[in-house]
Amino acid sequence: MNILRRRARAFTLLEVMVAMAILGIALLGLLGLHHQSIQSVIRAQQTTRASMLAQAVMTEAELERFPELGRTSGNFEASFPGEFKDFRWERAVEASGMFPDVRKVKVLIRYGPTLSQSFSLVEFVHSPIPPDTNGLRQGATP
């Protein structure tokens, strides 16, 4: 009788194998979630870097006071040597369309290993020099 009681308390090889399979599947799922979490953190870091670099390019446009119309582009090697190799910037300055003393400045940051991701920032810059209203008044009077 003593032998039967010991056998009833022990696990069979099949039960152990099933338990290991269930444990393996659960751990595989957790590993997949961990991978996704790390990828999300990396994406968030890259987006944060892109937004900060876009703001730096926009600040340079603001320091120009009233930037010239046209497109410019470049990388960040001069400002941050060796830091942002997978980041490129483009800046487009356009007339606002309605106001001659306002310009639309759009900064686009392309980033990633193949530069396939992007972040853009748009701002309207007002000319610090007041417009010539004398010419408008002279043209309006008969």
> CATH number of 2-128: 3.20.20.190, 3.40.630.10, 3.30.1300.30, 3.20.20.105?
3.30.1300.30
How do 117-126 and 70-75 pair as beta strands?
Answer: unpaired
What is the model's pTM?
0.69
Which pLDDT value is given to residue 51?
Answer: 95
Residue 142 pLDDT > 50? no
Provide DSSP, 115-126: S-EEEEEEEEEE
| C-alpha 119: how far from chain center | 5
Residue 135 pLDDT > 60? no
Provide DSSP, 75-128: ESTTTSTTT-TTEEEEEEEEE-SS-TTEEEEEEEEEESTTS-EEEEEEEEEE-S
Residue in 92, 91, 90, 84 with CA at minimum distance from that of residue 112: 84
* Residue-range domain boundaries for the chain: 2-128
Q: Which residue has the tokens 């999300």?
A: 40
Report the C-alpha gap between 44 and 85 in whole angstroms.
18
pLDDT tens per residue, range 74-117 = 999 988 898 999 999 999 999 988 888 899 999 999 998 888 99
Over its C-alpha atoms, the chain yields an Rg (Å, rounded) of: 31
pLDDT tens per residue, range 10-48 = 788 898 999 999 999 999 999 999 999 999 999 999 999
